[in-house]
Chain A
Amino acid sequence: MKKVRGKSIFITLCVAPAVILFVIFMLIPTFNVFKMSLYKWGGYSNTKQFVGLNNFKILMEDTNFFRSFQNTVLLIAIVTIVTMGFSLIFAAILSREKIKGQNFFRIIFYIPNILSVVVISAIFSAIYDPNNGLLNSIIGIFRGSEKTPILWLGDQKLVIYSLVIAMIWQAIGYYMVMYMASMASVPESLYESANLEGAGRIRQFFSITLPLIWTNIRTTLTFFVISSINISFLIVKALTNGGPDGATEVFLSYMYKQAYTNSSYGYGMAIGVVVFLFSFGLSAIINFVTKREPLEF
């Protein structure tokens, strides 16, 4: 009897702190996001007014929100396709070919992932600087330096692609290392027999490597989409702050702006709810579309 009591005391002592912290700092705030989205609330003043789904109705007619929606979808689409493609190819090269300095490349490619997003933003603002930037001074060699400088972060049409490059630069190494890890588990014998059959490198990549690490690709894809929404926010906040003139406003930066700068917390949280549902829906769709019979090896 004493032992049973000792055991339950032990269990409670071990689990309770984690559960309490989780509930206070994650569960309740998440719940509050949903609750606050139903209120009209001007921040510090205590006039909370229940308005039902009114915030969402306003949202549907908000052109600024629609713009941030477009920007986010564009970023997700391009960044995901390019990053996934390149990191798969590089991972396949580094794990299949005999490359000199393979380890060196792996170490270098992973570096952007350990840098703070603020650091990355600062590096890219040095690269994109119109007058003394690294990029314009290289391009200046070819097109003549007397021409007007390209405004990588100032041109409304161009700026989103400048962000795309920064995001790909940041993510590529991380996913490459991840795919290398799962490619290492594909048995060598499959490639040997494919060699005997005369299948080329590209054929091997599509018929052996890709199908066998498909489960891993699926999971990373789902996570990648969710994390793109977050990373795009972090980079935008530090690099352009949504500008010029809302050209790089993304979901969460718009939410943050509404909540803080505009002090309309209720409305900001309604945006949060929509983004939350959007990312869940999107990952469900990806999960469904990419479903294949898992291959055993």
Chain B
Amino acid sequence: MQNKKKEMNLNTLYKVFIYVALLTLAVSIVIPVGWVFLASIKENSEFYGNPWTMPKGFYFQNFIDAFEKANMGEYFFNSILVTMLALAILLVVALPAAYVLARYRFFGSKLINIMFMGGLFINVNYIVVPIFLMFVDADKFLKSLGGNSFFLNNLFVVALVYASTALPFTIYLLSGFFVTIPRDYEEAAYMDGSGYFRTMVQIMMPMALPSIITVILFNFLSFWNEYIISMTLLTKNSKTLPVGLMQLMQAQKAAANYGQLYAGLVIVMLPTLILYILVQKKLTQGMSLGGLKG
């Protein structure tokens, strides 16, 4: 009896310990993120003194300032444009390639598969300098022909680079899915006189929809949040949101415009947070499906 009681006590202690640990981590995540939201509606004078005070009112002017004075409105539009374009290019290019690589053996197919697998290990941070220099050269060449510079400071080119660098992971994930679908579906379609192209678009792609959604989710997040490529390739006025935010961070050090900075932060993270809340199940499930992403 005595023994059992002791065990019970130990068990409760263990439970308490677990909850404390879990809550500590949860608080360390929720509080800073929540604090940013509260800070974004504070007036600038409220930032001097205790950071834990609640905002006095709803100072929406921060967001208007961020949108207009700090150009976050324009950057927001740029980010949407680049992300959507990159996703579109990525899907149009990666889907057929993944399908064919999973289904057909042809001359060079093994080499191409190995190439994309190796691509998983190439990180953008290493190659951003050569990509930048490649565009500098290309622009110089265009100018020597009497044209205008085209490659640098072009949102479309940034989207193209995003899509290209996401190819290995996307193809890896999608062809991993296509391999699991039995061949019977296609054979039946061919029997009915459907061509290769129609079979792929009308039979196989709809079946891959869950994987396609996973691909879109992951790549949306990485394109929306990316800043090294866009910082390097967009040197003039048109920027994407994260780069604009970095600019705000640096400006804040000199001018102490806190309200604008935190409003900018909210503008950058709100879309991803909303998306996450809507699809969090899909995202965390997709991880076990897709395996890894650096």
| Bound together | yes
Point out residues on A near B: beta carbons under 8 Å.
6-8, 10-11, 13-15, 17-19, 21-22, 24-30, 32-33, 36, 44, 90, 93-94, 97, 99, 104-112, 114-119, 121-127, 129, 132-134, 137, 169, 172-174, 177-178, 181-182, 201, 219-220, 223, 226-227, 230, 233-234, 237-238, 252, 255-256, 259-260, 265, 268-269, 272, 275-276, 280
Cβ proximity bits B260-282 to A, threshold 8 Å, 1 near / 0 not: 01100100110011011000100
Q: Provided the pairs A17-B93, A111-B29, A132-B49 are in contact, do residues A122 and B261 lie with their beta carbons within 8 angstroms? A: yes
Q: Provided the pairs A18-B97, A125-B249, A269-B129 are in contact, do residues A105 and B26 lie with their beta carbons within 8 angstroms? A: yes
Q: How far is the CB of A117 from chain B (nearest CB, A)?
A: 7
Which 4 pairs across A and B sit closest by C-beta, in order of nearness?
A: A181-B288, A116-B225, A14-B96, A18-B97
Among A14, A21, A276, point to the contact of B99 (Cβ < 8 A). A14
Give the residues from 104 to 142 in chain B that come closer than 8 angstroms, CB to CB, to chain A. 104, 106, 112, 115-116, 119, 121-123, 125-127, 129-131, 133-134, 136
Find out whether the CB atom of A259 lies under 8 angstroms from the CB atom of B129.
yes
Q: Which residues of B contact A256 (CB under 8 A)?
A: 125, 129
B81 interfacial contact with A, CB 8 Å: no
B294 interfacial contact with A, CB 8 Å: yes
| A-B CB contact pairs (8 Å), 13 listed | A18-B94, A21-B167, A26-B119, A106-B284, A108-B29, A114-B275, A119-B225, A119-B265, A122-B249, A123-B265, A134-B52, A178-B288, A220-B292
Q: Which residues of A contact B160 (CB under 8 A)?
A: 21, 25
Q: How far is the CB of A243 from chain B (nearest CB, A)?
A: 12
B268 to A, closest residue via Cβ: A119
**The stretch of B31-39, B60-68, B179-187 that contacts the partner chain:** B31-39
A86 to B, closest residue via Cβ: B25
CA distance A118 to B75 in the complex (A): 15
Q: Provided the pairs A119-B268, A265-B133 are in contact, do residues A26 and B164 lie with their beta carbons within 8 angstroms? A: yes
CA distance A278 to B24 in the complex (A): 36
Find out whether the CB atom of A177 lies under 8 angstroms from the CB atom of B287.
yes
CA distance A122 to B40 in the complex (A): 13
